[in-house]
Structure 1
Amino acid sequence: MDYEYDVFISYSHRGHVKDWVKNHFQEELTKSLWDVLPNDPRIFVDYEIPVGTRWPEKLEDALLKSRCLVAIWSPPYFRSEWCMAEWTSMRKRQQVLGETNGEAPTLIYPIRFADGDHFHPDAQATQHCRDLSKYGHDGEQFRNTPDYVAFQREMRTVAEEVASLIDCAPEWQADWPVDRPEAYRKIPQSRLPRL
C-alpha cells in the first residue's frame, strides 16, 4: 500500500467556501501543482465522491491515504465535526511522527478563507496560515476580475509550499490515526441481502 492522494482538501460545506473550492480553489491548485510536481497531482476533494459510495468510509480512507491536508479555515469549519475530525487526524499524525532534528513535521497547510476571530484556539495560535480571504468570491464572475489574476499568483505560491509538504511527507503507514466524528457513529450500517 502507498499514498493514493498528494493532497486532501478539507473545508466546510456551509457559507461560500464550498462553491469557492469547487469553482476556483481546486482548479487553480491543481494547475499550479502541475507546474511544480514531477508527477500529475492527485487531489482528493469530497464533492468528487461517486454517487452510491459510502462517503464516511471514503473520507476516512482518502484521509488515511493522503500525504498532506490543505485546510480551508472559516468559522463553520470549526463547528463541523467532520472538518475537525479531518484536521485533528492529521495533527495526530504529526504528533506520531514527533520531532526530527528539532523540528516537528508539517502535514497541514492552513488557508484562511474568512474571519479568523472565531477560529479554534489552536488554529489562532498557528504561526503560518495563508490568508486568501480577500479572494473569497464564489461566483463565476470572479474569474473576470483583476482580483483573479492576483489570486492565481497567490495560488502559485500556495502550490510551491504545498509541493514542499508533499515532498517531505513520511512513508505511508497503514495505522495512521484517524478521528471519527460522533455523527459517523450514528450513520446506520446498511446490510445488503445475501444472495
Structure 2
Amino acid sequence: MLEDPRRGEPRSSVQQPYGFLSYGRTPHVPESDRPPDDRLIRFHSKLTDDLMELTDLDAKIPAVYLDRRIPLGSAWEDELKRRLARCQVLVPVLSRRLFTSEWCALEWECFQRRQQLHRERGTFTRNAIVPVLWNPLRPDEIPRPYSDLQYTHQDFGDDYPTVGLLGLQTHGRHKTFNKVVYQLAQKIVEVAVSARLEPCDPSVFDDLFDSLNGSAGEEH
C-alpha cells in the first residue's frame, strides 16, 4: 500500500474559495469586437484549472473568485464581503486600472483588516497576498502598498517581469504564459497552506463599504 505523501502535513484545501482576484475593469470599447477583460478571463480560467489539479477543492465552489458584475446594491455587497471574509489568498492583478480603482482599494483594505485580526489573535504566520503582474510596469509606476510586495517572481523567468501576463498573451507566448500561470497557482497553494488565514465575520467590513458608498464611487 502506498504511503500518503501528505500524511502529517496540512491539507491543501484550507478554505474555499482559495483566492480572490482583485482587478481594475477595462471599459467596453464600441469599436472593438473583443469583450472587455477577455484576456483576464482567460487567465482566470487557466488559473482555476491549475488550482483544481493542485488541490482537492470542491468544484461547486470557485477556486478563485472573480467578480464580473457591476455593483447593484446590498445583495452584491453582501456577497463580496462573504468572499473577502473567507478567501485564503488575495490576488491583486497589478495594472494602472487597479491602482486607480476605488473598489480594488476597498478589497485591499478589507483583506488587510482581516489579516490584522489574525495578527491580534497571535496566529499570523505570513502575508497572504500574491500579486500578479498584468501590464509591463516600472517600479516607480507601482504605488504603495502594492510596491511593498514581491511581484516580479524572478523564478518565473525573464519574460514575465518584462511584459507581464497580458504581454505574454498579446505576443503569442502561450507556452510561457501557461508555465507562469501554473507557477502562480503553485505559489497561491503554498501561501494558502502556510498562512492558514482564518475567516472572519463579514460585518467587520461594514464601515469600509459605508465609507465608499458615501463617496461618488465608480464601476468596479
Give TM-score scaled by structure 1 length.
Answer: 0.74
Write out per-residue CA displacement over residues 100-125 of structure 1, whole angstroms, 9 at most, x where no aligned residue. Answer: 99974221111121224332222122
Instruction: State the one-letter code of the partner of 2:198.
Output: E
Q: Which residue of 2 aligns with 1:191?
A: none
Supply the distance in 2 between the matched residues of 1:122 and 1:94 (Cα, whole angstroms).
15
Gaps of 5+ in 2: 1-13, 29-35, 154-159
Q: Which residue of 2 aligns with 1:173?
A: 200
Q: Is residue 42 from structure 1 mapped to residue 99 from structure 2 by the alignment?
A: no
Supply the distance in 1 between the matched residues of 2:17 and 2:69 (Cα, whole angstroms).
13
Measured at CA, do residues 76 and 128 of structure 1 come closer, stay the same or move farther in structure 2, by a change above 3 Å?
Answer: closer
Supply the distance in 2 between the matched residues of 1:10 and 1:150 (Cα, whole angstroms).
23
Measured at CA, do residues 58 and 102 of structure 1 come closer, stay the same or move farther in structure 2, by a change above 3 Å?
Answer: closer
Structure 1 runs, 4 residues or longer, greater than 4 Å off: 99-104, 128-132
Q: Is residue 111 from structure 1 mapped to residue 132 from structure 2 by the alignment?
A: yes
In the alignment of these two chains, the number of paired residues is 181
Contact kept in structure 2, 1:56 and 1:184, CA below 8 Å: no
Q: How does 1:69-148 map to 2 (within 5 A)?
A: 69-98=90-119, 104-114=125-135, 115-116=137-138, 117-130=140-153, 131=160, 133-137=163-167, 142=169, 145=172, 147-148=173-174
Supply the distance in 2 between the matched residues of 1:110 and 1:124 (Cα, whole angstroms).
10
Instruction: State the one-letter code of the partner of 1:25.
Output: F
Q: Among residues 26, 48, 65, which one is paired with 2:44 in the alignment? A: 26
Contact kept in structure 2, 1:71 and 1:110, CA below 8 Å: yes
Write out per-residue CA displacement over residues 109-143 of structure 1, whole angstroms, 9 at most, x where no aligned residue. Answer: 111212243322221222344456433159xxx49
Q: Which residue of 2 aligns with 1:159?
A: 185
Supply the distance in 2 between the matched residues of 1:119 and 1:180 (Cα, whole angstroms).
25
Q: Is residue 68 from structure 1 mapped to residue 89 from structure 2 by the alignment?
A: yes
User: Which is worse superposed, 87-96 or 74-83?
Assistant: 87-96
User: Which is worse superposed, 72-81 or 93-102?
Assistant: 93-102
Q: Is residue 184 from structure 1 mapped to residue 205 from structure 2 by the alignment?
A: no
Write out per-residue CA displacement over residues 25-58 of structure 1, whole angstroms, 9 at most, x where no aligned residue. Answer: 1111011112211224622111279x99832232
**Aligned residues: CA RMSD:** 3.7
Supply the distance in 1 between the matched residues of 2:96 and 2:103 (Cα, whole angstroms).
14
Supply the distance in 2 between the matched residues of 1:91 and 1:180 (Cα, whole angstroms).
14
Sequence identity, in percent? 21
More strand per residue: 1 or 2? 1
Shift of residue 185, structure 1, vs aligned partner:
3.7
Give TM-score scaled by structure 2 length.
Answer: 0.66
